[in-house]
Structure 1
């Protein structure tokens, strides 16, 4: 029964509708992909710009601290005055030229020492500069005294063992050291806030004019001032980005006072960036291991501080404006799509009506009417030139149908006959007759399962040898060979045994069809002339860039005359440089050698030998696919 949905009008309508839907969907998806890509690229550029700006501002603050430390270190006035205080000299001692360096007496500070401390404070104030780029400066001697300048002024003692930074600074005197953010109770006294105030310190070993270490200079700056650019960016960020800063040890420098466990995955993802390229900024799209959302990262490494700054933006947050726009676009597109469907229905109806008339004419056409002139010439007048011409050509064609049908039937008959002749010429009649005789005996013995198995293998055998393919995979040829051996094993029973040992790497190599099975057939032909048990072995392996397949048996082997005749024919063919014409039934050993030469040229392998232990061995081979 005809399906009412398979009529021309429905198919045309559905086709037009599908074209419209597909085109529109592709355009929408392309636009979304393009827009999201542009938005993502713009966001990455923006993130890179923001990251560079943030990193530059952080470096600027650290550079100010570094510059102040260098001003202090290279100031001869600071060195001289600090050394006087460390050694306990007064101005009168220095000016008197006595050459002595009296020790600082115990008890209250004498006026001359107080004057030296005041002069040192004035010198340090001048070294820092009138703009006060840093908040606090400390000078430490190695005897337990420290001198402050900034919000915290004056002199007091300190315990080196209580300073976590002391050992690291003293052991590397030639380097600057940036401490970790820490709560600073001293500097917090000068800020009108109840929250704990973090500060960051920069340390350098302080040398005299003879390059002898005489102390340590510490430059302190408020944590909020160093990371002011990030704090401002948090308030103004258009993408609600998160920012983290960590040092070379992977410890978080910013933000402090928050749960830092959520930032550890980002540190693991980006920790390799800084050491590989200290001047580069990298951007990437990663998947958040906790939330599973895609995020954009912008990574910036500072050689000055050794800190890595990472800006993180959620891709869902980034693309939310595009998603909202897409929803509105889909709604508008749905309305446009409905209008397009109505138009497609009208177009399908106009085209379908004349086609249905042609369909009725074809349906009412009878073969006996061909060439009789019974079909009247009628105008279709559909308004579509192509369909009118089609209708007219159909009427003209009907006059020639009878002749065409006769020609076609004759051609089909000839083609069928040719295929049967080709199939018959490729078959081994003795094998076919023996198989049919075996089936007859099995039927008399009610061996139904064996008959089914034999018939299935026989069917596959016939399909394989009658196929048009000239090249097949080793796996296909081996399967055909295996089926052939199973057919013979059903015939010969336990007298015949066979085995396969094949390297999996050669299974997909292309080889000429029917080059292994004829070798097995040849082996069975000669091995069955001896006393059982009869053993056939098929071995496949890779040697260098060549695949090799060997077929061995335990029969009587080749006669010397046969080996010599085969060798003579091969030498004659190679000497003449000519390839004889192959025939359909040419399935002998020389035929296999010729087809291997045609396929692989000089790399073809064909060896025929008798085994020392008895039996024959035939090895064929060619270059593997990997070997070119």
Structure 2
């Protein structure tokens, strides 16, 4: 006996599986639910922090832009700058000669400085401002005041500003040695500059304004966020060209992985959170991308999914440990419960195994009690004991039932065939009525009465002659409808006509051949041949149709093998199982002597051979020819 197929093992494994599945589903569901809440909360938090950080960057850049616009649109600044630069080049006011006096230069410089200081504002939103003319002169205001000379070739931004006549230019972060001198920290300072052309009253370019701000002040919000956020998120700021502004000292390859990702603002898709696999670290990350309308910069916040879900992972580990302990205890309880249930069953099993025929209904068998403590099993045992008193009577009744079983099966199988034929006959009459074939309908209804008398008789057995006459009438009825499209031939050895056979075994084969044969182009030919063979008789029904498909043959042969192996009659349907019905009735009638072969002919069409041994009444006469004739007169 297989120990894994016992009731105890099945109960034990079932209980254990239920417990394991329950805990697994519970833990997985909670992890999924909590992960969703945490991810939603994290995205909301990161979204708020990201927008706040972007607003701080935009605020600093807006200050620089406002200062540049104040300078650009201030005629007072432009006039004083032009006047001052003229003094520097040695130009005199109209009507004077010689170099400008030193006092005039100082006065002009002071006046320009005061105007620029007023333009920047008392709160000094920017650290440094430079004005450049196109004669290689510049004037600064802020930490670095005064005039100086400059070489346009040394300024990488010069050509880009000159080519951009409609807006501002924001330069990349640069190490600023000059501004570093004004900071007490030993660290080198970086700055970011905003450039604009400014124009004279005639709208001709007269110079360039540069507004500088410390890099750390612009990205102070980003630096604070990168240090203090709870998820160790990474911040990357870049422009539409992919140039990275923040961070400065990070691994360029790692930062570049977040630049110009599909779906960010640069691609025209609204800012949103998305999952992303970092090509450098191979980790799954959650990204949020924002694009500033002020600077055109993209701010991307990236947080590792493992960092994001770390609390859930820790919870899952602890839950698994607790679940394992509970699971072991539950499995132990399931083992105890299974044992308590199966032990009384084993006692009942031993009682059944040791039961003898002479003990049936005896007082000794009825005196045994189980006392298992389980009401259901005690009742089962008591029912078994009471069953002994009725078993003898049941065995007698069973013998009587077996003697009637064969006849009952034959009647039931015949009842499956009758409506099948009736449905098809009524369909044929319906089709002829639509075509106004009144004479043919009269002939068919006359034949129908004969059919009904034949198939409605209580007897399940018939003779080969009666079966063939019944089949011939069926063919004649169908020839009324199809005319010369249907051609049939009966070649029957008269010695087999008196032999006994089950009723309705040939006509369904012809009906099956006609059903599938008419799916081909006419004429449709059906040939019925009957002959003696060895110790019995055989009838072959052949057609010129498309034959059986390989799948149909495999299905039919598989059902036949199943019937032969189990020796049981399966449930049969009216549609599609007529061949199996015939096989079963031949098997029930002739046993091992039944003949049933289904296949395809070599040239075309299908062939079905049925038959059986000689059963009285029969009196074979050698040498007699068949009296069955061809119905259409054409060559078959």
Fold shared by both chains (TM-score > 0.5): yes
Q: 1:460 aligns with which of 536, 554, 558?
A: 554
**Corresponding position of 1:123:** 115
CA-CA distance at 1:395 after TM superposition: 5.3
Structure 2 residue 135 is the aligned partner of structure 1 residue 136: no
CA contact (8 A) 1:138 1:146 kept: yes
Compare 386-395 and 309-318 and name the one that shifted more.
Answer: 386-395
1:271-312 Cα deviation digits (max 9, x unpaired)? 6433415xx531111112233221111111111111111111
Kept in 2: contact 1:177–1:204 (CA 8 A): yes
Q: Is the 8 A contact 1:293 1:314 kept in 2?
A: yes
Per-residue deviation, 1:155: 0.8
Paired residues for 1:89-104 under 5 Å = 100=94
Check the 8 A contact 2:168/2:196 in 1, yes or no: yes
Aligned pairs for 1:259-298 within 5 A: 259-270=251-262, 272-277=264-269, 280-298=270-288
- Determine the structure 2 residue equivalent to 1:349: 339
Structure 2 contact 264–289 (Cα < 8 Å) conserved? no
Look up the SS of the partner of 2:192 in the other structure: strand
Asked whether the equivalents of residues 296 and 313 of structure 1 are also in contact (C-alpha less than 8 Å), the reply is: yes
Mapping of 1:240-251 within 5 angstroms?
A: 240-251=232-243
Q: What TM-score does the superposition give when structure 1 sets the normalisation length?
A: 0.62
Structure 1 distance, partners of 2:164, 2:377, is: 94
Secondary structure of 1:281's counterpart equals coil
Q: Distance in 2 between matches of 1:432 and 1:313?
A: 83
Q: Which runs of 5+ in 1 are unaligned?
A: 95-99, 438-453, 472-483, 493-519, 525-560, 563-628
Contact in 2 for aligned 1:147/1:155 (Cα 8 Å): yes
1:252 maps onto 2:231 in alignment: no
Which residues of 2 match residues 586-601 of structure 1 at below 5 A?
Answer: none
* Aligned counterpart, 2:64: 65
- 1:244 aligned counterpart, secondary structure: strand
The alignment status of 1:320 with 2:310, answered yes or no, reads yes
SS state at 1:267 partner: coil
CA distance in 2, matches of 1:248, 1:382: 83
Of 147, 155, 162, 1:155 maps to: 147
Q: Secondary structure at the match of 1:334?
A: helix
What is the deviation of 1:4?
Answer: 2.9
- What is the rounded CA distance, in whole Å, between the counterparts of 1:144 and 1:469 in structure 2? 105
- Is 1:3 the counterpart of 2:16? The answer is no
Distance 1:307 1:407 in 2: 93
Contact 1:295 1:312 in 2 (8 A): yes
Which stretch shows the higher mean deviation, 19-28 or 352-361? 352-361
Secondary structure class of the residue paired with 1:240: coil
> Partners of 1:397 and 1:71 in 2: how far apart?
110
Residue in 2 that maps onto 1:80: 79
- 3-state SS of 1:116 partner: helix
> Are the structure 2 counterparts of residues 461 and 34 from structure 1 closer, same or farther at C-alpha, using a change threshold of 3 Å?
closer
Rg larger in 1 or in 2?
Answer: 2
**DSSP-derived class of the 2:232 partner:** coil
1:329 partnered with 2:413: no
Q: 1:366 to 1:207 in 2, by over 3 A?
A: farther
Partner of 2:39: 40
The normalised TM-score by structure 2 is: 0.62
Gaps of 5+ in 2: 418-501, 515-525, 534-547, 561-571, 577-596, 608-631
Is this contact kept in 1: 2:264–2:290, CA < 8 A?
no
Deviates more, 1:239-248 or 1:208-217: 208-217
Q: Which residue of 2 aligns with 1:300?
A: 290
Residues 414-442 of structure 1, C-alpha deviations (whole Å, 9 max, x = no match): 478879989973476989999xx9xxxxx
